[in-house]
Structure 1
Amino acid sequence: MTETTIGLATREADAVGGVDIRIEDDASPIVRLIARTITDSLRADSSILPAGLSGAIAIRSHDTPQSATITIADGAIAVSGGVFVEPDLDVTVDLNQFFAPVGDPVGSSEFVAVAVALLSPPLPDWKTAAAGFWAATRSVPGIPDMLIAVIEGPEGLDQVVSGEGETQYVIAGPPELLAAIFTGAIDLLAALSTGLIGVRGTLAQLSVLVAASWKVRYDV
């Protein structure tokens, strides 16, 4: 491919692990999701980006027209909407399932390893994730007074209660899945459709919970 340069996508934020992460001012949801995921990965381990690597990775949604390009050059990563260059790697993924690949990627094996590393941040403990979710979404209009997260582990039921007051919503499921939901690694509606988690509350509370999960999922 032609020489890789970064100049169009901009973002006002400090470098993460020495890597400048840039997005467009009017970034689309897929761009924001990818950038936030890369940020989480680099915060956990900045060494996953090989020194001197330069090129482009195309990311395409398997079930929607959404696409984006991750451009790596000069110690920076830019995420832009669409695919307008010939990429070093072209990969189709399920955006609602941890960027799970759909079909085989096309391109450089070196960039396959980099893409996997950038799009697979480690999940925190589910209790830590629940606390982070509550802190990030407490100000969302209409959010209930309390969040109760419940899991059934090896030693039986365990729960985290955040906030206090009269209104509440309860979300229950496996610890790994709750951690993924609370960190935005997996979409709440997608998780609900699997039947592996349950949410108890009013329909209005559920709609607010979905809005709150979207805030966490796309907030960069």
Structure 2
Amino acid sequence: MSTDTIREAGVLVSVETDPTPFVLTIAHALRRGFKRDYTGAHAALGARSTVVSLQVSDTPRAATVRFEGDAVTVSHGIAADKECQLTLDDHDRWSVNGPDDCPEGLVDSVRAVLNAPPPPIEAAADEFWRKTSTDAGMPSQLTLAVTDGIDIHLGEGADRFQIHGDTLTLTRMLSGVDDFFSLLLSGRLKICGSTRHLSVLTGASWKVQFDA
């Protein structure tokens, strides 16, 4: 039974009841891939009704993806009927590797869907703001100080918060590829604003990442 079903580019992506954060993250990545016109890779997967399990290296985080034509279902754990078990690198979210006995092209197709290029930063910023700006505690104005581009201002008002970073890092955060707080801890993003807004924006980032 699925509680979350969204169609992107003709592909229906569903998750199990009470999904784990990792299941939601995988489902979000798949939807991004289909939205960015990676249906060629999906067609190769759907045509064979593939069952693929994904596990983050050296962690218990795992999910199974069932590709059946234009329907994709994501559930937690490693399925007994999997066609292949793939490994994700915890330091490079969508670095996908698989054993040599995986069917030809399977690893490349999964890697292609999960690694769709991010949208332009302006589109990612608008979508992020649309999904999160009305959440309780959000700043009235969010400024993206783009270190290698032009600053982007979302909303307006005196209750302000700034996030500093390069175009790619900011875009990955805004589109839910990477989460805001992890990027902040790694030093890839810097901020100017209150701890209250820091907390709220961390939650907003998870909301986008989990497609909630």
TM-score greater than 0.5 by the shorter chain: yes
Which letter does structure 1 place at the counterpart of 2:83? Answer: D
Deviations 1:86-110 (A, max 9, x none): 4222222146744234xx4222342
**What displacement does 1:194 show?**
2.3
Mean CA deviation greater in 157-166 or 28-37: 157-166
Q: Which residue of 2 aligns with 1:124?
A: 119
Query: Is this contact kept in 2: 1:150–1:173, CA < 8 A?
Result: yes
Match for residue 20 of structure 1 among 6, 12, 16: 12
Partner of 1:77: 72
Q: Which amino acid aligns with 1:176?
A: L
Counterpart check, 1:87 vs 2:82: yes
Q: Which amino acid aligns with 1:48?
A: A
SS in 2 for 1:32: helix
CA distance in 2 between partners of 1:135 and 1:47 (Å): 29
Q: For 2:80 and 2:132, locate their aligned partners in 1 and report how far apart those are by CA, in whole Å.
A: 37
Report which stretch shifted further, 38-47 or 61-70: 61-70
1:172 corresponds to which of 145, 155, 164: 164
Assess if the C-alpha contact under 8 Å between 1:33 and 1:218 holds in 2. yes
User: Residue 41 of structure 2 corresponds to which residue in structure 1?
Assistant: 48
- Normalising by structure 1, we get a TM-score of 0.85
The DSSP-based 3-state class of the residue aligned with 2:80 is: coil
Q: Distance between the aligned counterparts of 2:142 and 2:91, measured in 1? A: 23
Aligned to 1:114: 109
Counterpart of 1:133 in structure 2 is 128
Note the C-alpha offset of 1:191.
Answer: 1.2
Distance 2:168 2:187 in 1: 15
Q: List runs of 5+ in structure 1 lacking aligned partners.
A: 1-7
Runs in 1 of length 4+ with deviation above 6 angstroms? none
Equivalent position to 2:192, from 185, 200, 204: 200
Could you tell me which runs of 5 or more consecutive residues in structure 2 were left unpaired when the two chains were aligned.
none
- Match for residue 215 of structure 1? 207
Note if 1:67 corresponds to 2:84: no
Please, what TM-score do these two structures have when normalized by structure 2? Answer: 0.88
Alpha-carbon contact 1:20-1:76 (below 8 Å) kept:
yes
CA–CA distance in structure 1, aligned partners of residues 59 and 192 of structure 2: 30
Mapped partners of 1:76, 1:142: distance in 2: 37
- Per the alignment, residue 161 of structure 1 pairs with 153
